[in-house]
């Protein structure tokens, strides 16, 4: 805010109509009428009972913005008209896709879908580096990822181990449980609870809870756990979390992948009463040619967080395996019916 603008509004508020009166008011305030712009004071989050910035509450990152963006599309647009046109097209594509499924488009649980905004600007991707909004794949890693995609989309089901962790209800889809956190199309609720020594982050999909230990050391390199091993520290208003030791079975995240030796740095900062800014950096030399970075907003969620009734061994997996066995029997059954 400009001091000059503030003084003009103050003058109007008390009925001072002239520039001379404005100058007199500025003089009385001890502020030159041509003062330099005031730097806005950074938002300071409320404090917990033990003095840490309070990140607690219900949040959501549901959005149509995705990790990557279409090639040749900028991260932000210069005009509001461009933003409206791009968002309208994106929403239309989303509705065509969701209505092609099993009635999700008319579900009472379907949230309003929009692209995310950061600092008032519409974002076409979470990625901010590389600048082109594309993951910097190593060629051999991209081939492995493509093979994983093909396997996940196929009907291969010799056993449950052949299906991705999302089918087995071991982990949330699209990396919704993190790290790094991605945004699912639905069920994107997050609940954060803090103690002096830990920060717990519950993800609605797949009811996974990450425990971030404040301080301490990582597990031995030979130990790999689901969602990785997360160690946090406070840097002023920001919770910084370093995660390593990823479980090898969660390397495929549907839209990207991580090796067990990847390192993810996350930062959680309340930038206003209505936004928790989340930034992340992924360093995985075995998979990518360079580290990649992104940012997204978490906004308050009125809740509640509903039960996400997906657990290992639930009815979906027997159905998948049974369908695969039925498909295997079809050629012989057709042959037996042929005269």
What is the widest separation between alpha-carbon atoms in the chain?
Answer: 106
At residue 35, the pLDDT reads: 47
DSSP bridge partners of 194: 199
CA dist 146 and 173 (Å) reads: 17
Query: What is the pLDDT at residue 110?
Result: 57
Q: What contacts 211, CB < 8 A, 6 or more positions away? A: 198, 199, 200, 230
Strand ranges in 195-262 using DSSP code E only, listed in sequence order: 198-203, 208-214, 229-235, 238-244
Q: Which residue has the tokens 């300071």?
A: 44
- The per-residue pLDDT for 166 is 80
Q: From 282, 284, 296, select the one nearest 241 (Cα to Cα).
A: 282
pLDDT for 286-322, tens place per residue? 999 999 999 999 999 988 888 888 877 777 788 888 8
The pLDDT assigned to 102 comes to: 55
Supply the Cα-derived Rg of the chain in whole angstroms.
25
Question: What is the C-alpha to C-alpha distance for residues 81 and 75, in angstroms, rounded to an integer?
Answer: 15
158-169: per-residue pLDDT in tens? 888 878 888 888
- With tokens 């103050």, the residue in question is 10
Tokens of 251: 């390397």
Q: Is 224 helix (H, G, I), strand (E, B) or coil?
A: coil
- Residue partners of 15: CB distance under 8 A and separation at least 6: none
- Tokens encoding 211: 């425990």
**Continuous segment of H or E residues that includes residue 59:** strand 57-60
pLDDT of the chain, 339 residues: tens digit per residue: 333 332 223 333 333 332 233 233 233 333 333 445 566 778 999 999 999 999 999 999 989 999 999 999 999 999 999 999 999 999 888 877 766 655 555 454 556 688 999 999 999 999 999 999 999 999 999 999 999 888 877 767 788 887 888 888 888 777 788 899 999 877 889 999 999 999 999 999 888 899 999 998 999 999 999 999 999 999 999 999 999 999 998 888 889 999 999 999 999 999 999 999 999 999 999 999 999 999 999 999 988 888 888 877 777 788 888 888 888 888 888 888 887
Closest CA to 122 of 66, 64, 83: 83
> What is the reported pLDDT for 67?
96
What pLDDT sits at residue 26? 30
SS (H, E, C) 268-289: EEEEECCEEEEEEEEECCCCEC
DSSP assignment of 46-102: -B-TTSSB---EEEE---S-BSS--TT--SS-SSHHHHHHHHHHHHHHHHHHHTTSS
For 21-61, how does the pLDDT look when each residue is reduced to its tens digit (9 = 90+)?
323 323 333 333 344 556 677 899 999 999 999 999 999 99
* CA distances (Å), origin 192, targets 2, 31, 210, 276: 37, 44, 10, 11
Q: Both tokens of residue 126? A: 């979470």
């Amino acid at each position: 805010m400009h001091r000059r603008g503030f003084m003009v509004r103050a003058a109007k508020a008390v009925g001072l109509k002239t520039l001379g009166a404005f100058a007199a008011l500025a003089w009385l305030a001890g502020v030159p009428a041509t003062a330099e712009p005031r730097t806005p004071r950074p938002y300071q989050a409320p404090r917990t009972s033990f003095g840490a910035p309070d990140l607690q509450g219900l949040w959501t990152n549901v959005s149509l913005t995705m990790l990557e963006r279409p090639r040749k599309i900028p991260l932000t647009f210069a005009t509001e008209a461009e933003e409206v046109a791009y968002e309208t097209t994106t929403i239309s594509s989303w509705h065509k896709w969701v209505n092609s499924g099993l009635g999700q488009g008319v579900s009472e649980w379907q949230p309003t879908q929009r692209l995310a905004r950061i600092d008032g600007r519409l974002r076409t991707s979470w990625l901010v580096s590389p600048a082109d909004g594309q993951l910097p794949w190593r060629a051999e890693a991209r081939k492995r990822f493509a093979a994983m995609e093909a396997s996940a989309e196929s009907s291969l089901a010799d056993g449950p181990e052949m299906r991705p962790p999302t089918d087995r209800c071991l982990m949330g889809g699209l990396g919704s449980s993190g790290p790094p956190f991605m945004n699912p199309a639905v069920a994107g609720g997050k609940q954060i609870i803090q103690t002096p020594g830990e920060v717990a982050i519950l993800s609605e999909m797949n009811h996974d809870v990450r425990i971030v230990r404040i301080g301490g050391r990582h597990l031995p390199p030979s130990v790999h756990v689901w969602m990785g091993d997360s160690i946090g520290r406070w840097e002023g208003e920001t919770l910084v979390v370093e995660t390593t030791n990823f479980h090898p079975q969660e390397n495929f995240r549907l839209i990207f992948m991580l090796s067990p030796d990847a390192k993810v740095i996350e930062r959680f900062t309340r930038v206003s009463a209505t936004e928790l800014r989340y930034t992340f950096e992924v360093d995985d030399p075995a998979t990518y040619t360079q580290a990649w970075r992104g940012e997204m907003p978490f906004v308050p969620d009125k809740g509640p967080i509903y039960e996400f009734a997906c657990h290992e061994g639930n009815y979906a997996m027997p159905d998948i395996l049974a369908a695969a066995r039925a498909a295997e029997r079809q050629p012989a059954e057709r042959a037996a019916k042929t005269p």
